[in-house]
Structure 1
Amino acid sequence: MVSIKLYGVNIGGFLSQTEDYSLTSVSKFITVDDFRKIRDWGFNTIRLAVDFSFLFTLSENNADSLSPIPSNFEYLDHIVSWAEELGLYLIIDLHKAPGHSFESSELHKNRIWKQNSPFQDIFLRIWTHIAQRYHTYENALFDILNEPVAPTAEDWNYLAEKTVKKIRLHTKTNWIVIESNLWGKCKTFPQLRKFDDENIIYSFHFYEPMSVTHQKAEWLKFTREYHPDFVSYPGKTDTLSEALEKGHDADAKGLMNMFRDSQGVWDMTRLESRMQPVFEFQQKHNVPILCGEFGCIAYAHPKTRQNWLSDLMTLFHKNDISYTYWNYKNMHFGLCDYTVGFQDNPNYDENRMDQASIKILSRNIY
């Protein structure tokens, strides 16, 4: 197995999931000093979430109309160079792609999965352009799609294989990251194809139990209304049963099923059992594994957040799993947070840093 060890953080809410993609706005949110801070914490990797709409324009879903935005690509050039100069790997994560959404309320818009879909051609052209532009940067990795939500595993395997082949026309050595189907879940790893390419990292995302990691989240209203108390880890989460049975709108039903799956006693043993399909895939194929996203919301009690992270770190180190924490700054999960809503949050010190979590994430680095 060709080996690579990644340990770091995600930067989201910067070139993705933001209301203002103007360079005036994004250049104030993250600077090279943030990259330097991440390096100084002891990490070697940044997973950079990038929405396709920051990099390209597209008219009427016509592949021939796909056009790179020169000024924004030049800005991304600077970001890749920052990472290179600081000795950091940079994972370019295509967080949102045309014809695909991982948002539960937008799954009906997913039109990329039909093999004759114009969105597959658009997707391949996006990655052709990115690979052509960044193949000379040895520190650049390509996470081809964030949290794919395909009707079947084979639909995702098919598109992933086509994408790998397109990228390999331009670079044989840059690492490619491929996530498992259905939001990068552990349980879909047995259906993920082992590709005939030594420079692929297989990736999962981990937010279990949702009742702990997403407690009190504003975008999950039913948890705030029916379960106002803190949920501890380790601990028992059966008290969510009543809230789940009452139900809400259709948008909430899929998320409520995730919460239903969260019930019972949670400790490191149960976390490990949930990751077992990933470990088995790793052992069977002798391939590198990345947990590309994991995090606990800052509404959780500090000890809950710290206990959960500590157990994950133990499991990642035990099983040789690379990792990038979600999220570096703000977005409810930040290791630092400068928003008004979290100004008095007990997870953060007077400098708005979660020093305890940073210490846990950077301990025993390979």
Structure 2
Amino acid sequence: MSHEMLQTPTGRRRPSDQEDGFPVKPSSSSSGTQIGATPGSNTNGNNNNGDPYIYDGNRSHSFVGRHRKKILVGSVILTLSAVSVLIALLVEKPWDHSSGGNGGNGASWFGGGHHGGAHGGVDGKNSGGTNGDGTVKNGGPPPRFTEKSAVQVSSAVQCNALTPPLDQPFEYGKQPIRGVNLGGWLVLEPFITPSMFEPYISQNVTDEYTLTKLLGKEKSRDYLQKHYATWVTEDTFKRIRDLGLNHVRIPVGFWALGNLAADEPYVPDLSLDYLLQGLKWAAQYGLRAMVEIHGAPGSQNGWNHSGRSGKIRWMNGTPEGEANGKRTIEYIKQLTRLLQGPGMEHVSPMFGLLNEPAIFMLERPPIDKWYKEAFREFRNITGTGKGPWGVLHDGFLGLTEWEGFMPKSDRLAMDVHNYLIFDHNLIRLRRQDQVNFPCDVWSKSMQQSTSKFGPTLVGEFSSATNDCATYLNGIGVGYRWDGSFQPEEDRIKGLPLDEAACQPKLNGQTEGYCSCKEQNRIGYFTPEYRKFLSDFTQTQMDAFEQGLGWFYWNFKTETNALWSYFDGVEQGWIPKDANNRPGGCLALGRPISPYSD
């Protein structure tokens, strides 16, 4: 496998048409009747002390008798109000309204004025919904994500002075993408949030499929909703903006769109609502988003970050694989339509059709055909020259394998994920050689791909120079660094373990150097190692900006700082401002030369 594209780790990694959970907009008729008010209740504050009769001299008059005309008029008004509500239910969905629940001044970031959450009040458990200002209250899920979901964009919203406001186009190729992934949020990964898996590992839970299958429908929904509501918050987007970044990449699984098969235990729909919430927060802080399908039906790579580890059941040459390929295109079409909603073109200008299909383990010609069909269906929905960029992944074949593929396509880009640590040769390089590698090799591959294929970006990279992060390669798989790594297929074949990548013969005399436990501990990091991490991270950023730019994997993790952008900033090896980097290739005396044939 060529150095410019290195294998990712084996473990790293509908909306419905119904109105359930939404209150109907109050009628605008002159009666002022509110939905939810008791029919016939007196709303003027004059209740006559609750007496059903009013006495006048020697005659008593019934309440009905004394107010016959008023009641007749009121009945007509109530009838008209009921008709207007019925029309609203039949013709106008609650999410068609552009005003928020804050008096209709248009300032809400939640188009539609929703007060009951997507599931709030329906199952009797999640009745939080949203406040009048559009914020989520009481831990309830956000409003339903629909094809008409609105994202309000102000021309004044700008994440930083170097990035155009959201209502102006981002000039890809002239301005670099500088972003982070929101991994482990809407698609679970054991190495990012090990605490979600560790209580169930003894019961053979290794991925989101086995987790949701074990917990069952209701418990899984509650479990995931708590995670969705806390792992990413509005403050996450504010912090990303404040670090000088301009993009986020948001992975979602196909199950977010519902229509699941009987043997797919995932929680449908819920994560899609949180995706909408994330897009609105991104818009609020002037950030652009690349939404991408991270898990396909049947798993496109057999790794846990596709939702299901083990066998590849996607485009694998079987009828089942072919059916899963067709299902994936239908999900692409559905998500594309969702991202055509009002304001979406500003905040979501890139769309990843499918993350990391393991093409190097599959037959290439059917995948080429699938890519062309998927992109064609994508563009049939957006129209030529409209909608987001379409992004393909190189499938671990290497960028040179895609030169000349689908020429003259309408805003098509290639995504490559560059890591040193999953290649047995590169993980063994001396530290200075690892620092130089992006300047000398990856920069040229980005330039060449941009010239021979077209716009190319790096959707994932990190500061890590070992694979020691807990569960990074999968639960129970081990690590290349300390020599314990053994994929299941190797174990079945009885193959021996590879030599430890830490090279104990050369470095074993350094206490803790070959210990993954020590390598994961920030207290073990020496000043020299931190300087190396800083240099290595910034040379990668320089190299990847020879193409469209980069997304760091990940914005944060629970336990490993080498995969956390936030931790890297706090610990000093990632600059506090992505636009003002003191290091990089030129600073180290390795300027990047322009590519030439």
**TM-score, normalization: structure 1?**
0.71
How many residues were matched structurally? 297
**1:135 aligns to 2:340 (yes or no):** yes
Question: How much has 1:177 moved relative to structure 2?
Answer: 1.3
Identity percentage over the alignment? 20
The corresponding residue for 1:359 is 576
The corresponding residue for 1:74 is 273
Contact preservation (8 Å) 2:458, 2:550: yes
- Counterpart of 1:39 (choices 233, 237, 241) is 241
Query: Which secondary structure does the structure 2 equivalent of 1:111 belong to?
Result: coil
Give the Cα–Cα distance (whole angstroms) in 1 for the partners of residues 370 and 249 of structure 2: 22
Question: How much has 1:193 moved relative to structure 2?
Answer: 2.0
Give the Cα–Cα distance (whole angstroms) in 1 for the partners of residues 316 and 407 of structure 2: 19
Query: Which secondary structure does the structure 1 equivalent of 2:299 belong to?
Result: coil
1:3-14 matches, cutoff 5 A: 3-4=171-172, 5-14=176-185
**1:302 aligns to 2:533 (yes or no):** no
Question: How much has 1:361 moved relative to structure 2?
Answer: 3.9
Contact preservation (8 Å) 1:113, 1:120: no
1:95–1:267 distance in 2 versus 1, CA, 3 Å: same
**TM-score, normalization: structure 2?**
0.45
The corresponding residue for 2:409 is 197
1:105-116 matches, cutoff 5 A: 106=309, 108-114=311-317
Runs of 5+ unmatched residues, structure 2 = 1-169, 190-195, 197-219, 470-519, 583-597
Q: If each structure's strand is expressed as a fraction of its own residues, which one has the higher value?
A: 1
Give the Cα–Cα distance (whole angstroms) in 2 for the partners of residues 48 and 59 of structure 1: 24
The corresponding residue for 1:170 is 381
Match of 1:294, as an amino acid? F
1:70–1:54 distance in 2 versus 1, CA, 3 Å: closer
The corresponding residue for 1:225 is none
1:364–1:281 distance in 2 versus 1, CA, 3 Å: same
Query: Which secondary structure does the structure 2 equivalent of 1:356 belong to?
Result: coil
Deviations 1:222-281 (A, max 9, x none): xxxxxxxxxxxxxxxxxxxxxxxxxxxxxxxxx5xx213544452454333255444212
1:1-366 matches, cutoff 5 A: 3-4=171-172, 5-18=176-189, 19=196, 22-60=224-262, 69-103=268-302, 106=309, 108-114=311-317, 117-136=322-341, 137-138=344-345, 139-140=347-348, 141-150=350-359, 151-172=362-383, 173=386, 174-182=388-396, 186-187=398-399, 189-190=401-402, 193-208=405-420, 210=421, 258-265=423-430, 266-271=433-438, 272-274=440-442, 276-285=444-453, 287-297=454-464, 299=520, 301-317=529-545, 319-330=546-557, 332=560, 333-336=563-566, 353-359=570-576, 361-363=578-580
Give the Cα–Cα distance (whole angstroms) in 1 for the partners of residues 332 and 267 of structure 2: 12
1:364–1:264 distance in 2 versus 1, CA, 3 Å: closer
Contact preservation (8 Å) 1:39, 1:88: yes
Question: How much has 1:40 moved relative to structure 2?
Answer: 1.6
Give the Cα–Cα distance (whole angstroms) in 2 for the partners of residues 354 and 153 of structure 1: 43
Match of 2:381, as an amino acid? H
Question: How much has 1:56 moved relative to structure 2?
Answer: 2.5
Give the Cα–Cα distance (whole angstroms) in 2 for the partners of residues 360 and 312 of structure 1: 16
Contact preservation (8 Å) 1:94, 1:145: yes
Query: Which secondary structure does the structure 2 equivalent of 1:12 belong to?
Result: coil
Contact preservation (8 Å) 2:459, 2:550: yes
Question: How much has 1:310 moved relative to structure 2?
Answer: 1.5
Task: Tell me which structure has the larger Cα radius of gyration.
Answer: 2
- Larger CA deviation: 71-80 vs 25-34: 71-80
1:114–1:40 distance in 2 versus 1, CA, 3 Å: same
- Larger CA deviation: 33-42 vs 94-103: 94-103
